[in-house]
Structure 1
Amino acid sequence: MDGLGESRHEHDLAAERNRCERWFVRQGLPQLIHDYSATTDVLTRAAPFLAFVVFIEFFLVFGDRWAGWAQAGIFVVGLAAMAGAMALVNRIRGRRLWQLPERFGPWEVLAYLGLGAVFAGLGSSNAVIVDAAVTLGLNVVLLGGAYVVTSWGLVPMVRWSVGQLWRQVGQMTTLLAKSLPILLVFSAFIFLNAEMWQVAHDFTLPFFAMVAGLLVAVGALFLGISVRRLAVDLARFSSWVDVRSRCADTPVTHLVPGDDAPPPDAPPLGRRARSNVSLLLFVAQSIQTVLVAGIVTAFYVLFGMFTVRESTLMQWTTLSQLTWAESWALRVPLWGEELLFSRQLVLVAAFIGLFSGLQFAVSVVLDSSYRSEFADDMTEELREALAVRAVYHRTLVSETP
């Protein structure tokens, strides 16, 4: 291959690799990118947000400290500080004076942190140092948040999870038929129990939130252990036949090696890549669990309004009267009777819903029939992404200079 042809080949490979890596980001799996870097990948993608923050903070120069022509002068000083910081960083980096950065490293971070503090100091009317320090601290927090969100692809991950949510809603009939009968039989005895209602009556909202948090933490622990183990298994492929069937409608469809090629040998998932895959699967399975808990809670709120009369509730909770201030009591007239909505009803229903969600999470982890029914679709999508990763490493990473 002559020099021109080789250059064109390298350019095509680089374009294919960029397209594949953007696909990983859209799937919420940026950590699958080879040599994923904070300067060239994470902060560079966060740069538009950080630039927007600096733009907003520029208006801090319009404080009460200056007026008239002095205010105009401070405005010019602020513009000069922004332009000077950009020119200085570009000069240090060896770029053209007003070139937009293609990477976001330590010098760009310092400029981002410093400019906000300068703007706050210029516009401060009293404590210049304090205002500048507060703005600097806020910028550090925003930088850390932008790094975490971008590094782990949380925005596309949430978008993918919403898609999973709609899919689960579409499969609601299966979800209800498979899981709810057992859950309702298990919980009906708890619901129609006077002690449960007395406990709910005695609960303050902060203490109930603590109990709810404990149950959520236990369920999250079960799911976390399950998906951590599963992430490693999903990344293994025995042949390119298996990989090819999963790479349809992906950026590497035309790059899958032939069946006679050496078997897939993508490196094992690193710690961060494994965590990224596990987090995506954890989010998807958590959505299912929240759906089950929400359905059970809603069912028991409605069921309780029809079955638990006001006199029964007062007897179970030793209340002398039900008021909105104490019990959120709301009476809904229906067919000459009154349906009663109350705080106690909400807490009992939510408590049972949380336990049902926990039971569902444990069942998905331990019961193979539950796992095949409710987790296979999600694992198949992740398996597709890992198949793309196998092709990416074989045909793009190893050949791209």
Structure 2
Amino acid sequence: MAEPSAPSSSPGPVAASGTVLQAERWFLSHGLTYFVPSVRASVREGLRPRRMVPTALVVSVIAAAAVYAAVLLEQQTAIPAVVASTFGLGALYYTFTALHAREIVLWALGRTFGSLKLLVPMASRALPLLLVFVTFLFINAEVWQMTSALAPGLLWLTVLLLLSLAVMFLLVRLPEEVDRVDDAVDAAFLLRTTRGTPLATATRDLVDAGADPAARATVHGYDRWNLILVLLVVQVGQVVLLAMTVFGFFLVFGALVMSEGVQESWTAQQEGGLHALPFLPNASVELVQVSLFLAAFSGLYFTVSAVTDDTYRSQFFASVTEELERAVGMRAVYLTLRDGAVPDSAGP
């Protein structure tokens, strides 16, 4: 009688499933939540009108109440800024909760503030020329007259407009960065980008077995928007930090060199007409207004320069290029394992 054969050991599907789960946990911890199918399905559900309409109605009621309060306080000029801010905050809240963007934004902000040392060389290269350019506007009487004549609500609306223009410009240019990375994927790229990740061993096995994860490297759909959102938050964070630096510089510079008489003359106000800040000589509300306007303008100017000028572009994206490449490489291998496109010679 022939001896019974030993039970066949086929850990391949089990091992692949475990590796896929590890990769999904890695995605969730690195701000790549849309890469996970369950989260992506929840986001797709959150974009349905029956989910969005109730939230839009609540935000509309809050905006109407804010407008009514502005009318009662006789601040009609602030109504556009109030409406824009209310709907903007409502959209951010819905994006953070129903669209699961909180993890993406928090990881991207942590990446920005965790690499502040990388901002120093970029700031040292960009700020001197930027400050020389903007300082000519700061010592211009027309700019002081314009900003001092703006009501606080209109000034804030102007800042929101400049920020929106910067975001729109980034949304046009950032997809090009994603396309540039996923077009460069090959076996060497995959081995390099997955090193030290849960997919390192699986990538080596797939490459040795002749699999082609690079065929799944093209990023599209929700995964593409996940990467764009990460890039957007990181770049906006850098721009805001630089704009805050410009704002602080002009506050200090103006308090040192702009006497009350000069500020009164440039804002076309009578003597004693400045809204001086307490305990701060030469500092006034008008100085804060012009500094805020020029800081917002500097942010837009730097955004355009940093993305279009090769001098700044490499440093501007240096802090996230490695993370972007790792995400694209991980996704290609993850999709290969998840879809079962693994040659038999690849083993478990």
Same fold, judged at TM 0.5 (above): yes
Contact 2:247 2:292 in 1 (8 A): yes
Residues 214 and 31 (structure 1), Cα distance of their counterparts in 2 relative to 1, 3 Å cut = same
* Alignment: residue pair count: 292
Matches within 5 A, 1:146-225: 148-149=95-96, 152-225=99-172
Query: What CA distance in whole angstroms lies between the structure 1 residues aligned with 2:149 and 2:95?
Result: 40
Query: What CA distance in whole angstroms lies between the structure 1 residues aligned with 2:144 and 2:317?
Result: 35
Out of 247, 255, 258, the position equivalent to 1:305 is 255
Query: What CA distance in whole angstroms lies between the structure 1 residues aligned with 2:6 and 2:176?
Result: 48
1:329 is paired with a residue whose SS is coil
Cα deviation for residue 3 of structure 1 reads 7.4
In structure 1, the gaps of 5 or more residues are 47-108, 110-143, 333-338
Q: Provide the residue aligned with 1:5 in structure 2.
A: 9
Q: Provide the residue aligned with 1:123 in structure 2.
A: none
Matches within 5 A, 1:231-310: 231-256=178-203, 257-258=206-207, 261-263=210-212, 264-266=214-216, 268-310=218-260
Q: Provide the residue aligned with 1:24 in structure 2.
A: 27
Q: Provide the residue aligned with 1:318 in structure 2.
A: 268
Give the CA RMSD over aligned residues.
2.9
Query: What CA distance in whole angstroms lies between the structure 2 residues aligned with 1:371 and 1:348?
Result: 29
Q: Provide the residue aligned with 1:340 in structure 2.
A: 282
Query: What CA distance in whole angstroms lies between the structure 1 residues aligned with 2:275 and 2:330?
Result: 55
Query: What CA distance in whole angstroms lies between the structure 1 residues aligned with 2:208 and 2:299?
Result: 44
Residues 397 and 318 (structure 1), Cα distance of their counterparts in 2 relative to 1, 3 Å cut = same
Query: What stretches of structure 1 move > 6 A for 4+ residues in a row?
Result: 1-4, 144-147
Cα deviation for residue 32 of structure 1 reads 2.1
Cα deviation for residue 159 of structure 1 reads 2.5
Out of 304, 317, 320, the position equivalent to 1:378 is 320
Query: What CA distance in whole angstroms lies between the structure 2 residues aligned with 1:22 and 1:232?
Result: 25
Q: Provide the residue aligned with 1:138 in structure 2.
A: none
Q: Provide the residue aligned with 2:36 in structure 1.
A: 33
Query: What CA distance in whole angstroms lies between the structure 2 residues aligned with 1:177 and 1:216?
Result: 23
Query: What CA distance in whole angstroms lies between the structure 2 residues aligned with 1:283 and 1:42?
Result: 21
Q: Provide the residue aligned with 1:393 in structure 2.
A: 335
Residues 24 and 341 (structure 1), Cα distance of their counterparts in 2 relative to 1, 3 Å cut = same
Query: What CA distance in whole angstroms lies between the structure 1 residues aligned with 2:324 and 2:290?
Result: 37
2:282 is paired with a residue whose SS is strand
Q: TM-score, normalised by structure 1?
A: 0.66
Cα deviation for residue 42 of structure 1 reads 8.5
1:248 is paired with a residue whose SS is coil
Query: What CA distance in whole angstroms lies between the structure 1 residues aligned with 2:6 and 2:260?
Result: 89
Query: What CA distance in whole angstroms lies between the structure 1 residues aligned with 2:225 and 2:16?
Result: 28
Q: TM-score, normalised by structure 2?
A: 0.75
Cα deviation for residue 20 of structure 1 reads 0.6
Higher relative contact order (CA 8 A, sep 6+): 2
Query: What CA distance in whole angstroms lies between the structure 1 residues aligned with 2:271 and 2:146?
Result: 17
